[in-house]
Amino acid sequence: MKTVAQQLKITEFPFIINDENGNQIYHEDSDGSWEKKEFDENNNEIYCEDSTGYWNKREYDENDNQIYFKNSYGIISDNRPNTIQEYTMDELTKILGKPFKIVK
């Protein structure tokens, strides 16, 4: 598979593409190694992948703090807020496999 620079017949390196916000979304060297990135609407890096096969994903909260990270090596850091699952009485009965009564 050809790299972006090879497809475009680029001969000057490094070959760099920036998005409309100035974020570097693609970088390629003359040896064919490359890295591509994606950013969210707040310019936080949310995805990165390179020519070695490495990748990582990130999530951020409303204050731009990183709350989730996962990469191709299996490393996961998850600080996302826990959400409480809600169930109806019928759903709980199915999950438990028998009728139940809620006590205080």
pLDDT at 65: 97
pLDDT at residue 102 above 90?
no
pLDDT at 43: 98
Distance, in Å, from the CA atom of 40 to the CA atom of 65, rounded to the nearest integer, reads 13
- The 8-class DSSP code of residue 25 comes to E
Residue 74's pLDDT band, with cuts at 50, 70 and 90, is very high
Which pTM value belongs to this model?
0.77
End-to-end CA distance of the chain: 64
pLDDT tens per residue, range 36-59: 999 999 999 999 999 999 999 999
pLDDT at residue 7 above 90?
yes
CB distance 32 to 3 below 8 Å: yes
Reading the block at residue 28, the tokens are 């390629």
Phi, psi at residue 7, to the nearest 5°?
-65, -35
